[in-house]
Structure 1
Amino acid sequence: MLSGWNALLWGKPGTGKTQLACLLAGLANLTLYTLRSEEDANTFRRNGMQSRVSELLLAQRLLGRNGSCMLLVDEGDDLLMSGTIAKNRRHQLLEDNPVPVIWTTNDVASIDAACLRRFNWLQQFEFPNPDTRIRLFTKAVRGLGITRQQIAHWAERTWLSQADIQRVASLMRSLGLKRKDAADAIEHWLDQRERAFNIESDECPGNPIGKRAGGKSQTKEAACAYRMEGEFDAGLLNLRGRDGQLQQDIDIAELMASLKQSREGRILLHGLPGTGKTALVHHLGKQLGCEVVQRLGSELLHKYVGESEQAMAQAFAEARERNAILFLDEVDSLLTDRRSHHQGWETSQVNELLQQIEHFDGMLVVASNFLDRLDTAVARRFDYQLELCPLLPAQLHGALEGCVDKATLREIGSSLPGLGAVTLGDIAVLKRRQRLQRRKLGAAEILRILKKLIAGRERGNAKPIGFLQGSSMVCQG
């Protein structure tokens, strides 16, 4: 192999960088040697041993005589970042090495461009996408009696790495657990690991795996991965309004086909809370095999001038880098009508987000419960606008079929048409109540819960009387 050959593998821990280095060495019929880590080198240096740079140069001289070796410098940040060693010495390490070297690091932010240009191969490692997580989990737990539904549920956790999956599967085998015992133990292991990530992160929600150099969290959706109560059914999404007449210019099936073909598109979802906007976005992600980078409007708003714009730009850049669907929820807090603004920074934030939307060439979905609060320039920046409405009577009956027994459904059937606007979110509440109380709810309980949820939503959507809108004493109808 030619001298001066170097590859840099970078990305989050546990994503397979070292495994790939071993695989490459095996495919090339080369013996792989690993340079001692910085931590170990520091321990020996206190006893008079050579520096890590000297050890690397010595390894090159000794292994270069063999001609059938490859060197792995794991966590090579200390040798590559600016300021640690002289610039010419750093470049020399990447130009004159007689033995091919594979370098790994968790982040390239501290490595200058002149150094990066000297690598023959650069490869970023990300956490597996949903389909890959399912395949990895299926292979890892083979023989343990785990169902596909359980695997699909676990694979929703975006922070899962290949190492995590292999680790928990190996633990189950060492404990001799199978079927329900193994499933319960894996669920507990994942939950505890997720809690530990939350505790260690800088801010909640967060994820220490996703931290950049300097301690700031790079991803915020991982620790709060979306989990729908029950299985998603696109047939329960109401695009027809209460009168049953199609009000949209595209249905879900056609939208899905369009996105699969083009791999880009901007979608505006609006409607009452609980009508399935968030569930639809994550369904799109699963069907398209894409991650969903989810951000709440409140997460992107910061108190210092310029920070909000920077957070918006970072969200779009992250989605673009990960080839993911960017989902901005509660976007009405970010795209308020500029005619109502009293401060220049408010308009600046809206302008920045509109520009990011205009130039984004991936898949973007934004959701709002209050379409009338959005700026008038929003509509023309979206390819599709879909209003999700409360359940139609037939959809409500179908949703309850998967939630209550037949006798209870017959008992409440005559009361359903007069209930009012029931949403998928209301059905999810019933499912959670039954799961938490470990029993089926009775007809009277179900009707009482639904009526309470509907009444609370109607109060929340009530508008103040016109002449009192500017007063602190607001009377709602």
Structure 2
Amino acid sequence: MTFLPDVARFPLRIGADPETLSHLQREPLLFAAHYATLQRVVKWPESILRITSAVNARYAQHDEVLKLIETLRSQVPMALSADLARSLAEGLELHDTFQQDPTEYAQTCENFLEAYRRALAEEIDAGEDSATGRLEMISDLMAFSPAETQVLRYALCCTVHPPLQLFTRLFCEQRVDRNQFWQITLEMDAKTLSTALSSRGRLAGTRMFHTTQTHPSLSEFWADLLINTGISLATGILQSLEPQGSTGETSRLLPEDREILEALLHPREVGLPGINALLYGKTARDKHRLARSLILASGATPYTLNPDIPDGDRPAAVIVAQRLLAQRPERTVLVVEKAQSVLTRVYPDIFGFMGFMEEATDVQPLDQRLLAENPIPTLWLGHEANRLHQETLGRFLFHAEALKGTRADRKVMVESLIETLPVAPRTKLELVKLEGLSEQQVSSAKSLAKITAGRSRRTYARHLLLAAQRSQKALARKNKDEARMPVTQYSLDYLNSAGRFGPAKILQSLRLRPQASLCLYGLPGTGKTQFAEHLAQELGYPLLTKRASELFDKYVGESEKRMSEAFDQAEEEGAILLLDEADSFLRDRARSQHQWEVSIVNELLQQIERFEGIFICATNLYSHLDIAALRRFTFKLEFLPLNFEQRWEMFLNEADLRNKPLSTSQQADYEERLILMKNLTPGDFATVKRQCLLLGESLSPRDWLDQLELEVQAKQRQSEDYRAGEVAA
């Protein structure tokens, strides 16, 4: 701890001033407390040392000190240490001499006052290496007035020097003119001091400064940071925003939000004040990782506050941090977590204990200052935007919501964490399927597998996946998301659709305006569900799939309720809603035999009209759908079996014939067999590929064709049986 010249300078002024000196002459305990503040910092004359030595000899024994503390306890309004009790005893003994002749005591104070003024100037010049220099630096960064800085100095001295705190408390409890006391102690007139102590002033607004009815003090955090010069100011307040373990699920931004934020956090013009953005979202979402990736992508360096800073000290820490970063040559962005605890509009109590009436000032409230004067771009993180004051909320330049991450986001996170691990791609894909999987879950699973698996790669992969799955269960998260991973090479070129607007055109339009309703119909396996999953991945939205078995209920009105809840869930999660087996919900009302069938159709149509996202229904039985309902869909897209070019391209990919030479006879044979397969779909290729993966075998081109023919024949028989059943019915 460094020495503070102010600890001596403030009480020396009291001892050197005739008016305040007269108060000391009348009150023995007040004089004793004043002497205690100066005991170790002033070189006393021989006459005073003789008296104090005798007192010290009297209280050399521990038991005697305890008796002294017990005697003083009823007179002193704070806990006493042994040293402070002995100092008070010395002061009380000196009071008799002082009362008879106060000139020697006053002269000693006056002589040392000038010396400590010089010592204070040297402390300020020492900068960060001294407490006084640090206080000056912080005052400059906070834009405090000289009067506010002086009040801050006194508060620091009261905090770290108990004798000065005791003297201040005893003096303020006296029936004296406090106004006069503070003007002499702080060397300023009443009007200046009143302005410095305004509860709407800069000093009060920072909440660095705390008061009771008798004395001022600094918070423990700021006092330690100013006194303990072993660490730099920057280290005590700032730290680089590094990846941290979080159980929060991966999150994402809308592409247009991300584009704006990256430009905002790295503006072309340096030094523009008031660049603030709010990134908010549910508590379960990892906004920390999202903010870091966003800032790095913008080309800036991310920083955040030291996590050890208490909530009450964070507003002032933000101001200091912003201005420290502004002095650095590189582009920086400050990330402030728990925005609602920093951007408060609560004003502190008036500092009435000093005897001044507060004067009105034009200083902005702290939350306005934090959002108007920051010299570097600042990204604020919060959970619910509406927890902030509306005026505060309106001052952000941009507001972005952290949405639930997609499979693609999880894939990036998983691959970054297990890129070098000895696991097969299939294990990575299984991890990516775990909806809501967090960085901390993957890290914990890695640690477990490292401990339990030994040298077996297969065991390592199994334990890694099992640990992640058990973690999902404990956190009540799904063990897989709704979108399936394609087993065959996926391309929109392999979708054969009828109509003017094909899949690629629809995807392009949804990129520009993600709000539409789509009806996808056609034979099973033609790629309807896979196209919905592809849309979700390309647009960066989660996919919420609902089927008839999940929504139908035997009780009247419950199916409609579940239908409404499905749309609400999709809206809340920012997801694309896929309604599979849509013919079960959109039956032609003219053919309905029960009133509940009509009610379900009506409820679904109302929800489609209200929904502001992307709604997709998929069906194999287009002819069964309600004609009026079909008019509500923005796009109606029919999926057909593969044409010859698409069959040939998929066959080359899956049979591993791409870029391999084929004889004319071979190619003709393969092409003929593919042409003769009736209603061949991408789903047939996927079924055969799953068989290969399950059996761990690779098929020759001819075996591929054999298996495809079997799939086509099986579908044909199933279709014939279905039609026969309809005729019989």
TM-score above 0.5, yes or no: yes
Q: How does 1:68-147 map to 2 (within 5 A)?
A: 127-141=404-418, 143-144=420-421
Q: 2:529 aligns with which of 278, 282, 295?
A: 278
Does 1:336 pair with 2:594? no
SS of 1:432 mapped into structure 2: helix
Number of the residue aligned with 2:678: 420
Number of the residue aligned with 1:313: 564
Matched positions, count: 383
1:264 CA displacement: 1.4
Number of the residue aligned with 2:436: 159
Number of the residue aligned with 2:604: 353
In structure 2, do the counterparts of structure 1 residues 2 and 397 end up closer, same or farther at CA, with 3 Å as the change threshold? Answer: same
SS of 1:394 mapped into structure 2: helix
Number of the residue aligned with 1:362: 613
In structure 2, do the counterparts of structure 1 residues 234 and 190 end up closer, same or farther at CA, with 3 Å as the change threshold? Answer: farther
1:363 CA displacement: 1.1
Does 1:190 pair with 2:465? yes
Does 1:209 pair with 2:477? yes
1:68 CA displacement: 6.8
1:355 CA displacement: 0.8
Q: 1:437 aligns with which of 689, 692, 695?
A: 695
In structure 2, do the counterparts of structure 1 residues 313 and 270 end up closer, same or farther at CA, with 3 Å as the change threshold? Answer: same
The C-alpha deviation readout for 1:69-105, integer Å capped at 9, x for no partner, is 9xxxxxxxxxxxxxxxxxxxxxxxx98999x9x9999
SS of 1:365 mapped into structure 2: strand
Higher gyration radius (CA): 2
Q: Which has the higher contact order (CA 8 A, sep 6+)?
A: 1
Are the equivalent residues in 1 in contact too, given 2:507–2:535 (CA < 8 A)? yes
Q: 2:485 aligns with which of 227, 235, 245?
A: 227
In structure 2, do the counterparts of structure 1 residues 161 and 428 end up closer, same or farther at CA, with 3 Å as the change threshold? Answer: same
SS of 2:517 mapped into structure 1: strand
Report the structure, 1 or 2, having the larger helix content: 2
Letter in structure 1 aligned against 2:588: D
Which runs of 5 or more residues in structure 1 are unaligned?
21-25, 34-59, 70-93, 109-114, 201-206, 211-220, 240-246, 471-477
1:170 CA displacement: 5.6
The C-alpha deviation readout for 1:352-403, integer Å capped at 9, x for no partner, is 0111111211111111111011111222111111111111122112112122
1:154 CA displacement: 4.6
In structure 2, do the counterparts of structure 1 residues 329 and 19 end up closer, same or farther at CA, with 3 Å as the change threshold? Answer: closer
Are the equivalent residues in 2 in contact too, given 1:15–1:126 (CA < 8 A)? no
Which runs of 5 or more residues in structure 2 are unaligned?
1-204, 208-277, 292-302, 319-344, 350-366, 368-379, 394-398
Number of the residue aligned with 1:373: 624
1:229 CA displacement: 1.1
SS of 2:578 mapped into structure 1: strand
In structure 2, do the counterparts of structure 1 residues 466 and 443 end up closer, same or farther at CA, with 3 Å as the change threshold? Answer: closer
1:258 CA displacement: 0.5
Number of the residue aligned with 1:322: 573
The whole-number CA distance in structure 2 between the counterparts of 1:192 and 1:440 is 31
SS of 1:378 mapped into structure 2: helix
The whole-number CA distance in structure 1 between the counterparts of 2:544 and 2:611 is 14
Comparing 278-287 with 121-130, greater Cα deviation is found at 121-130
1:144 CA displacement: 4.8
In structure 2, do the counterparts of structure 1 residues 353 and 415 end up closer, same or farther at CA, with 3 Å as the change threshold? Answer: same
Letter in structure 1 aligned against 2:527: G
Are the equivalent residues in 2 in contact too, given 1:16–1:162 (CA < 8 A)? no
Q: How does 1:16-31 map to 2 (within 5 A)?
A: 27-28=304-305, 31=308
The whole-number CA distance in structure 2 between the counterparts of 1:405 and 1:255 is 31
1:325 CA displacement: 1.3
SS of 2:687 mapped into structure 1: helix
SS of 2:545 mapped into structure 1: strand
The whole-number CA distance in structure 2 between the counterparts of 1:442 and 1:177 is 38
The whole-number CA distance in structure 2 between the counterparts of 1:279 and 1:187 is 28
1:163 CA displacement: 2.7
Number of the residue aligned with 2:515: 264
Q: How does 1:290-301 map to 2 (within 5 A)?
A: 290-301=541-552
| TM norm structure 2 | 0.44
The whole-number CA distance in structure 2 between the counterparts of 1:447 and 1:18 is 48
In structure 2, do the counterparts of structure 1 residues 104 and 271 end up closer, same or farther at CA, with 3 Å as the change threshold? Answer: same
1:446 CA displacement: 3.6
In structure 2, do the counterparts of structure 1 residues 187 and 271 end up closer, same or farther at CA, with 3 Å as the change threshold? Answer: farther
Are the equivalent residues in 2 in contact too, given 1:260–1:288 (CA < 8 A)? yes
Identity across matched positions, percent: 26
1:349 CA displacement: 1.0
Number of the residue aligned with 2:653: 402
The whole-number CA distance in structure 2 between the counterparts of 1:326 and 1:268 is 12
The whole-number CA distance in structure 2 between the counterparts of 1:255 and 1:223 is 24
Letter in structure 1 aligned against 2:595: G
Letter in structure 2 aligned against 1:269: L
SS of 2:712 mapped into structure 1: helix
1:252 CA displacement: 2.3
